[in-house]
A and B are shown apart, each in its own frame.
Chain A
Amino acid sequence: MAQKAIREYDAKSILAKHWDKYFPDFTYAYETVMVQNGSELKDEAKSKAWLKEKTLVAKPDMLFGKRGKNDLVLFKDKKPGDVSLATATKWIDDKSSKEQSVYFSFDGDTPTGDAKVDMLTHFIVEPFTPHAQEEEYYISATCVGDDDMLYMSAEGGMEVEEGWDDKVTEVAFAITDTEAEIEKKIKANIPKDVAAKDKADYAKFAIGFFKAYRELNFAYLEINPFVMQGSKIELLDMVAKLDDTAGFMMVDEWGDIEYPTAFGMEAKSPEVIAIEEADAKTGASLKLTLLKPEARIWTMVAGGGASVVYADTIADMAGIDDLANYGEYSGGPTTGETKFYAETLLDLMTREKDPQGRGKVMIIGGAIANFTDVAKTFTGIIQAFEVYAEKMKEVDLKIYVRRGGPNYEKGLKDIKEAADRLGLYIEVYGPETHVTDIVRMALEK
């Protein structure tokens, strides 16, 4: 996926790093730390005096919003703005010590939908910034369709979402717009509710903000709210996504960036991480998502499109409860890469027997390849079979193969022979069989 969410702390750090380039007329103190527990916060306080000298705000920094409504923003002990380092430390230790429920949608202040339950592991701590409501503003940018959109509002804070159409000014920019055109459009569209004294500054800030969004390859950038006190800016809350395909150009600009898993999503398993690492090293494509590792149907499908079609078909015919994974190998992986991918899957699918006592199913599917050598990739799968044959038999694994493309006759013949030799159950089909028909066959057994 090209667009990846980053932590608020990282978003602020990137802007702070390039602050003088984009916001030369403004100052930003960049007083912010990210910690995983209370003792880390105490350690930070040794080098960052403001943590001891100022009152603080603390909140989880784990990609989800609505932290206020989930009562996960610490800004008061007895009254707003009185949170000391000790209180913040204790609060973070408390919140990180047990699982927390987080709701993602609200109707007014009432949560709707199910809560996600997970541990809180990352917190951002900043000074409490006393300010007037009218000093709060909203700004965000993203790409919609072919255009970049800039959203500006005189009203910061979470109220923005209620009454978007009334409060937010939207400006669209073509990718080819020049800096002069961008500046002109922004200046002409400053929300009318921005205080008269702030209008010129808001425009300047918005221009810098939009430039930073474009040039630093953000896919989404939102500050809600920021506080503008003359030339002094505070970034109270930020949400950002990066276009990670630009990573190779942004090594220095972004610094060391982590793309965390969403709260409540299971942490990536070592197997998924291993596949991601292998993918990063090859010109081919290796992708793996674990949906339900204890489920009985596993797919090893070549090609991005075909992998979706197989998943669709399994969901249609068997429902998603039986689908263990989603993924693809494509773009002409080597025999070794394919072997590694197959071994990773075989390892996962042979760990436990099906709780209902059914046999497991492995769908080795694919469309008619354009250039991937089927015999070569199948050699990798066969080598993995040789390693896992005994375990495969233990979970009563049945293999269904369908593939076409360069050298497919040899590939199909080889894999059939290997499975027979190893005593594995296998059915093998070529392009004369409809691409997803093996799903039906597997389910009928």
Chain B
Amino acid sequence: MAQLFTRDTQAIFWNNNKTAIQRMLDYDYTIKREKPSVAAIVAPTSNNKFEKFFYGPDEVMIPLFKTTADAKAAQPQADALLNFASFRTAYDVTMEALEVGGFKSIMITAEGIPERLARGMNESARAKGVIVIGPATVGAISPGAFKIANIGGTIENIVQSKLHRAGSCGLVTRSGGLFNELSNIIAINADGIAEGVAIGGDRFVGSVFIDNLLRMEANPEVKYMLLLGEVGGTEEYKVIEAVKSGKIKKPIIAWCIGTIAKHYDSGVQFGHAGASANADSETAEYKNNAMRDAGIHVPGSFNDIPEIIAAVYHDLHAQGTIKDIKEPAMNICPKVRRSKEFICTISDDRGEECTYAGFPISSVATPDTGKGIGDVISLLWFKKQYPKWATDFIETVLKTVADHGPAVSGAHNAKVTARAGKSVVESLVTGLLTIGPRFGGAIDGAAKYFKYADDNNLDPKAFLGYMKKEGVPIPGIGHRIKSLKNPDLRVTGLMNFAAANFPKTPLLDYAKTVEALTTSKKENLILNVDGTIGILMVDMWRALGYTENEIDEFIESGTLNAFFIVGRSIGFIGHVLDEKRLAMPMYRHPMDDILYDVPEAEKL
């Protein structure tokens, strides 16, 4: 891989570091990337599903996941992990990512990871061919393509330092702050950088100078390299070797900082943890001389770096190795942006005609469109176009649950409220407020428990045992009067429809084996209409290709209940209108229907 990152590179960002991620997206917008460079965020302790970020003047949502594995499964194309965990957990996060696999590069920002862990982590990555940038780094950048987190600083500085488009220098430093400084110097004295990496300040970092310089040697966009080393360590000698052996042919400019260290005992630590000379050959002065002897361009001091850059650049430019760059057009991020208070992902009324999930209302409303209420629900509730068998099933459900007579508690409440002189909407919501775990909730419950049993391969007997232990009667099982011999025709209808139209019905098949067991105990312990609806909804979603997790979320969020709410509203409104039409008076419950048992309150 000659290039560290491309315009298509996407990252998974471990830790919801909003400022850093926003900086990446500002960069993406500025350089007109097609896709945001952050595909997913791992935030183990967050319960949110996404985080909003600005993308230019607009906002985008980036999905949040609890684990790297989940994020990677959802965004398999994202092959860079930006590990922003603390020094306590950065090791575990890296090792987990290596385990999950599919990452080409892992950047680790934490400083002070225990050395032994850092070494193990770097070695494991190397064995798997994964490039590690860091630990203790601000990252890396491929100008015009991809930028890690905060590197380059603010968007103004990035443009100032020409980091928004590829130049011709390959820049490798230890220090992150000086990386920025050198980018600026290179922009002023040459044409900017083609790729840059701050390898990190800890003693043990993953990719070292030579790894990065060899990649840059192979990268045709890089015409010359700048290496900023530091007192301590022997990594610069590997570079000298590569130059001597001809592995690196492109010109290198290099300087090691920390020349001051020679004046003091080893007790004074100048610079990063990695910077401490244990031998003469590790001093900055010695390394600078050795690099100079090898033919590397070494200035007299840090102050002279600008001159030497200008000289090398102008040479290469005069030779024609470096061509003039045509400055690309870029977007300008607005200075002032306001975050949106609300998000809508289902309909849009900004155009000529309001749309349901992208479909103008007129395209689904009239009979000639061939669309029914099931289609509208599939668009507005699920943002998908369900096939006909599924929308037919949804409509069948709505029709089936529309009413169940005046005696059930919801309808009764609606009627009592209507008779108190309240409006249609007031009476309706009184009825709706009754819907819950005991009234209508069996649909949710049946879906939840039967799915649980099926997911966990519980045979009917084990399932009954489990429910007994939970202390819950099985939702969706049992009817007041109906039995196998005297079947509920609504249930029969639903089952026949499913048999004829569903691709398959695994959960219903399972539920029937449970029913066989329960009815063997008692005649009326049949699969009732609520149970059948809940179970068939799960089968429908499975057949439509939803994952088990997504279906679990539908159940958790009360989607099944929603079908009951919509359907039964039809019935409630009927009862309310019925009361209005009959002009029934205020209802008062007969006293002889109440058991009064009111002892005098004890004095405490």
Contact = CB atoms under 8 A, between A and B. Distances in A.
A309 B178 contact: yes
Contact of B150 (A291, A307, A315, A370): A370
A398 to B, nearest CB: 21
Interface stretch (A14-22, A70-78, A82-90, A242-250): A242-250
A175 B178 contact: no
B184 interface: yes
B181 A435 contact: yes
Interface SS, A side: mixed
Contacts of A191: none
A330 interface: yes
A249 B473 CA distance: 49
A302 B180 CA distance: 13
Contact of A368 (B119, B180, B201, B230): B180
Contacts of B263: 315, 320
A306 B203 CA distance: 18
Given A304-B175, A369-B177, A1 B269 contact: yes
A137 to B, nearest CB: 25
Given A370-B150, A431-B160, A306 B127 contact: no
Contact of A370 (B177, B264, B306): B177
Contact of A371 (B19, B88, B284, B306): B19
Interface string A310-345: 011111100010000010001100000000000000
Interface string B104-128: 0000000111111101100110010
Given A308-B275, A315-B259, A368 B184 contact: yes
A291 B268 contact: yes
B180 A434 contact: no
Contact of B177 (A219, A316, A366): A366
Contact of A304 (B115, B185, B265, B271): B271
A4 to B, nearest CB: 11
Contacts of B271: 304-305, 307-308
- Of B111, B124, B180, B185, most buried by chain A (CB within 10 Å of CB) is B180
Contacts of B123: 146, 174-176
Contacts of A248: 87-88
Interface in A267-319: 283, 285, 289, 291, 302-309, 311-316
A431 B151 CA distance: 16
Nearest to B188: A432
Interface string A401-445: 000111000000000000000000000000100111100100000
A366 B175 CA distance: 12
Interface string A259-273: 001100100000000
B105 to A, nearest CB: 19
Contact of B115 (A2, A265, A312, A431): A2
B124 to A, nearest CB: 7
Chain A interface residue bracket vs B: 35 or more
A45 interface: no
Interface residues of B, number: 67
B180 A370 contact: yes
B200 to A, nearest CB: 11
A367 B174 CA distance: 14
Contact of A265 (B112, B127, B265, B275): B265
Nearest to B204: A146
B176 interface: yes
A355 interface: no
A69 interface: no
A312 B273 contact: no
Contact of A175 (B116, B152, B260): B116
A174 to B, nearest CB: 7
Nearest to A331: B111
B267 interface: yes
- Of B23, B111, B116, B264, most buried by chain A (CB within 10 Å of CB) is B116
A146 B121 CA distance: 12
Contacts of A246: 114-117
Contacts of A261: 267
B268 A368 contact: no
Nearest to B269: A1
B184 A431 contact: yes
A107 to B, nearest CB: 18
A95 interface: no
- Of B154, B185, B228, B258, most buried by chain A (CB within 10 Å of CB) is B154
B191 interface: no
A340 to B, nearest CB: 20
- Of A2, A243, A311, A404, most buried by chain B (CB within 10 Å of CB) is A2
Contacts of B44: none
A405 B119 CA distance: 32
Contacts of A54: none
A309 to B, nearest CB: 5
B46 interface: no
A313 B301 contact: yes
Contact of A434 (B153, B258, B303): B303
Interface in B229-248: 230-231, 234
B116 A312 contact: no
Contacts of B127: 176
Contact of B257 (A176, A312, A320): A312
Given A174-B123, A245-B114, A369-B177, A312 B151 contact: no
- Of B115, B117, B152, most buried by chain A (CB within 10 Å of CB) is B115
A217 interface: yes
- 4 shortest interchain CB distances as A-B pairs: A305-B175, A303-B177, A246-B114, A367-B181
28 contacts: A1-B269, A1-B276, A2-B115, A3-B115, A145-B234, A174-B123, A176-B123, A217-B116, A219-B115, A243-B114, A245-B112, A245-B114, A246-B117, A262-B265, A265-B265, A285-B111, A289-B268, A289-B269, A302-B177, A305-B257, A308-B257, A312-B258, A312-B260, A367-B177, A368-B157, A371-B20, A404-B181, A431-B157
Interface of B: 19-20, 23, 86-88, 111-117, 119-120, 123-124, 127, 138, 150-154, 157, 160-161, 173-181, 184-185, 201-204, 228, 230-231, 234, 257-260, 263-265, 267-273, 275-276, 284, 301-303, 306
Given A245-B112, A305-B174, A312-B284, 8 more contacts: A245-B273, A305-B176, A306-B178, A308-B271, A312-B302, A368-B161, A368-B184, A436-B303
